[in-house]
Amino acid sequence: MRIILDRAKCTGIGICEALAPTVFEVDDNGELVVLSAEVPEDARNEVAEAVEGCPTMALRLRS
Protein backbone atom coordinates (compact mmCIF):
# COMPACT_ATOMS: atom_id res chain seq x y z
CA MET A 1 0.00 0.00 0.00
CA ARG A 2 1.20 3.48 -0.88
CA ILE A 3 0.67 6.72 0.96
CA ILE A 4 -0.76 9.54 -1.12
CA LEU A 5 -0.27 13.03 0.32
CA ASP A 6 -2.31 15.94 -0.99
CA ARG A 7 0.13 18.82 -0.47
CA ALA A 8 -2.56 21.36 -1.22
CA LYS A 9 -4.52 20.18 1.80
CA CYS A 10 -1.72 19.40 4.26
CA THR A 11 -0.96 22.29 6.60
CA GLY A 12 1.78 20.53 8.55
CA ILE A 13 -0.18 20.15 11.76
CA GLY A 14 1.79 16.99 12.47
CA ILE A 15 -0.85 14.71 13.92
CA CYS A 16 0.29 12.04 11.48
CA GLU A 17 3.83 12.35 12.87
CA ALA A 18 2.51 11.93 16.39
CA LEU A 19 0.75 8.71 15.38
CA ALA A 20 3.31 7.22 12.99
CA PRO A 21 6.71 8.84 13.65
CA THR A 22 8.64 6.33 11.57
CA VAL A 23 6.70 7.30 8.46
CA PHE A 24 5.89 11.00 8.76
CA GLU A 25 7.99 13.97 9.82
CA VAL A 26 7.22 17.66 9.59
CA ASP A 27 10.27 19.75 8.68
CA ASP A 28 11.26 23.25 9.72
CA ASN A 29 9.19 24.89 7.04
CA GLY A 30 6.13 23.06 8.25
CA GLU A 31 6.23 20.79 5.20
CA LEU A 32 5.43 17.15 5.71
CA VAL A 33 8.11 14.69 4.66
CA VAL A 34 6.80 11.19 3.99
CA LEU A 35 9.77 9.07 5.03
CA SER A 36 8.46 5.93 3.38
CA ALA A 37 5.94 6.17 0.54
CA GLU A 38 5.27 2.45 0.81
CA VAL A 39 3.52 1.58 4.10
CA PRO A 40 5.98 -0.46 6.17
CA GLU A 41 4.56 -3.83 7.26
CA ASP A 42 5.21 -3.08 10.93
CA ALA A 43 3.55 0.34 10.85
CA ARG A 44 0.27 -0.52 9.13
CA ASN A 45 -1.94 0.29 12.09
CA GLU A 46 -0.21 3.54 12.92
CA VAL A 47 -0.38 4.70 9.31
CA ALA A 48 -4.08 3.83 9.15
CA GLU A 49 -4.61 5.88 12.31
CA ALA A 50 -2.63 8.77 10.84
CA VAL A 51 -4.72 8.75 7.67
CA GLU A 52 -7.83 8.87 9.82
CA GLY A 53 -6.39 11.38 12.28
CA CYS A 54 -5.33 14.03 9.77
CA PRO A 55 -7.54 17.09 10.37
CA THR A 56 -7.32 18.26 6.78
CA MET A 57 -7.93 14.84 5.18
CA ALA A 58 -4.66 15.22 3.29
CA LEU A 59 -3.65 11.56 3.48
CA ARG A 60 -4.97 8.57 1.53
CA LEU A 61 -3.86 5.00 1.02
CA ARG A 62 -3.75 3.31 -2.38
CA SER A 63 -3.20 -0.40 -2.80
The binding site for other proteins (CB under 8 A) comprises 12-15, 17-18, 21, 25-30, 33, 53, 55-56
Q: Is 43 in the site for ligand SF4 (CB under 6 A)?
A: no
The per-type count for the chain, helices as H runs and strands as E runs, is 2, 4
Kindly state the DSSP code that residue 30 receives in the 8-state scheme: S
Site string for ligand SF4, 2-41 (x = CB under 6 A): --------xxxxxxx-------x-x-----x---------
The residue type of 45 is N
| Three-state secondary structure call for residue 34 | strand
- The residues binding ligand SF4 (CB under 6 A) are 10-16, 24, 26, 32, 54, 56, 58-59
